[in-house]
Chains A and B, each alone.
Chain A
Amino acid sequence: MGNRVVVTGMGVVSPNGIGIQAFLHAIQNGISGIKFMPHYHELKFSCQVAGMPDFKWDSLTNYISEVTLHGLKGTNIAYGLMAALDAWKDSGMDFETEEPRWETGCVFGNSIADTEAMRNVINRVDNKEVKKLGSRVVEQAMNSGVTSYISGRLGFGNKVLTNSAACATGTQAILMGYEYIKHGYAKRMLVGSAEHVDTYVFGAFDSMRVLSRKFNDHPEKASRPMSATAGGFIPGSGAGALVLEDLDFALARGAKIYAEVLGGSTNSGGQRLGGTMTAASSAGVLRCINESLVSSNIHPNQIDLISGHLTATNADKQEIQNWCDALDRRGDNFPVTNSLKSMIGHSLSAAGSIETVASILQIVHGFVHPNINLDDPNPEITKLVSVDSLPVKMIKKEVNIVAKANFGFGDVNSCLILSKFN
């Protein structure tokens, strides 16, 4: 069986709200965080809108020393630090400690260091000015930059590591932290993920022709998961973070408990049986979801809400088909399903952690957030499931169990089962 694992703190930096209160208000009211990006217009990108958090660097002075902030250039690190430290504060723990916290670790994921910040490094080296780079480049270029800043600030002494599994990164980070606590390796894990889709990474996706390009004049309408007019995803940026704790450990310190992580799974379709570098194998997805149900010891009919991956590409239809097959629920029996990406776009590595924060808020506050821009659902999707299962307005409803999944390039999958704490 193993230890029970609960969520005791959350933090978020999202294009439609920074901090839990602002984010909760945004997702309850269907507020879009997608904005027109004049710079992308100048650069002749096909997609000229993006989800960028309204982030102020100065606000980090409340979180880290001015010495640490001076020279911090990595936007992904800044987002991750803020979300992680907000989650920590929310869990009721102090920032300061003399001794390492041996019982607490960190799994925080990301995809790519801030390449805009790295451009300065490349320019200096090419200009034969390597001596002027200084001491702060390596720590921000390394993949473990985010985890290093978080763990250093809070003195974590347990497992500290960085995961990367493309768009499945966030859910995978949470699952890894959950497993360490479940199996007794750690009492507490700060988990999550961060992503800054900078100009160069954005450009690379733009060139793949997988981004939405027909709504540049109406940014808030551009991200349209499951819609007949969905024409690709909108890159988003941000971070989500959660404090996971062993249940007994959390109860002993009188911590507030948001929800329980019942189980989950992460796997790969092996880029076989229809799976490729960029497309998920249905066999792999079904296996991942089924393993999650088994590890959580729940029946598919107990799922009240699916927080889908659902990016607004032509993979949406196959994803709904996969959920139908994995749960053996379809038509009117299909669980209520939503995609946060309709409001904030697809924040790649950060998607899973931001969407998990949203899922837990829906459990805690008893609602299902709307799918905005779904006034024209894809008929191939409504052939599979009832249109009533894809709400376009917020529903007030008791939500006991959520299935949260993400699927990434490399044919990697991650699924979590989250529950109201009983």
Chain B
Amino acid sequence: MTRQEILNELKKVISPYTTNKEMLAQINEDTDLLKDLKINSANLVDIIIDAEAKYDIEIDYDEADKMMNVGSCIDVISEKIGQKQ
């Protein structure tokens, strides 16, 4: 999967956790999940759980801590998908 493909899929994963749909439609790698998308920090856990289920991967606590913007989410997810193959 390319980074752009992962970003497009990530939009769907994030969607239930933000009311800011306009911002979600135009996210890029620099978009901050908390500051820009106004996601409740407690919900980051839920986004990670949903991403794990979607890509059939496991993200450990230390890696999850890095996932604060869209770019870092894509980093972690693409690395995990790579390890599977």
Contact = CB atoms under 8 A, between A and B. Distances in A.
Contact-size category for B: 10 to 19
B46 A136 contact: yes
A65 B46 CA distance: 17
B17 A67 contact: yes
Given A135-B42, A135-B43, A67 B49 contact: no
Contacts, number: 25
Interface in A121-157: 131-132, 134-136
Contacts of B43: 67, 135
Contacts of A136: 46
Contacts of B18: 67
B16 A66 contact: yes
Interface in B19-70: 19, 40, 42-43, 45-46, 49, 52-53
A134 B45 CA distance: 6
Give the secondary structure class of B's interface.
helix
Contacts of A71: 16, 46
A70 B45 CA distance: 14
A67 B17 CA distance: 5
A66 B21 CA distance: 11
Interface of A: 65-67, 70-71, 131-132, 134-136
B46 A131 contact: no
A407 B34 CA distance: 48
Nearest to A133: B49
15 contacts: A66-B16, A67-B16, A67-B17, A67-B18, A67-B19, A67-B40, A67-B43, A70-B16, A70-B17, A132-B53, A134-B45, A134-B46, A134-B49, A135-B42, A135-B45
A131 B18 CA distance: 22
A135 B46 contact: yes
Contacts of A67: 16-19, 40, 43
Given A66-B19, A131-B49, A135-B46, 16 more contacts: A67-B16, A67-B17, A67-B18, A67-B40, A67-B43, A70-B16, A71-B16, A71-B46, A132-B49, A132-B53, A134-B45, A134-B46, A134-B49, A135-B42, A135-B43, A135-B45
A70 B46 CA distance: 11
Contacts of A134: 45-46, 49
5 closest A-B pairs by beta carbon, nearest first, are: A70-B16, A135-B42, A134-B46, A135-B45, A65-B19
